[in-house]
Amino acid sequence: MSQLRHIRPHGLANSPAYTHVVGARGAETLYISGQVAVDASGESVGFDDLAAQTEQVMQNLQAALAAAGATFADVVKITTFVVDYQPEDRAVIAAIRSKYLPAAQPPASTLVGVSALAAPQWRIEIEAVAVIG
């Protein structure tokens, strides 16, 4: 069983959306490739709909984690890439993420605005690192 330490350093503002430092001990570290808004049949979904794309991305991450015997509770770090990021996008993404990530101990997290992803119809890509025992 992996052991995770969620550390909220003194002097850094506490956020309910992410943890500043996550320590992990376990038998296996999983590096999950960036997931985009593509369904199981390989079709892109949610054209120009950030919420729909984020939902598909989180479902894809969940499937990838499950295939390795993990859940979102095992995720220690996520990185989110958003095309043409605007501050109001954060609330859209957070609303979807909150359905999947553990509220009490969310993973470390980075959000990066980018000019493009691998295909022009994709607006968001999320990669994850998880540790399982």
Q: What is residue 21's predicted lDDT score, i.e. its pLDDT?
A: 84
Proportion of the chain above pLDDT 90, given as a percent: 77
Structure tokens at 55: 């939902």
Question: Could you give the domains of the chain?
Answer: 3-8+30-132 (3.30.1330.40)
What is the torsional sign of CA 16, 50, 46, 40? negative
Mean pLDDT value across the chain: 93
Residue-wise pLDDT tens digits, 58-74: 999 999 999 999 999 99
- Sheet containing 124-132, strands listed edge to edge, beginning at the edge strand earlier in sequence: 28-35, 124-132, 75-83, 108-114
User: Strands, E, within 13-72: which ranges?
Assistant: 21-25, 28-35
pTM of the model: 0.88
C-alpha span between 53 and 23 (Å, rounded): 30
| CA nearest neighbour of 60 among 85, 84, 78, 86 | 78
Residue-wise pLDDT tens digits, 11-59: 888 888 788 888 887 789 999 999 999 999 999 999 999 999 999 999 9
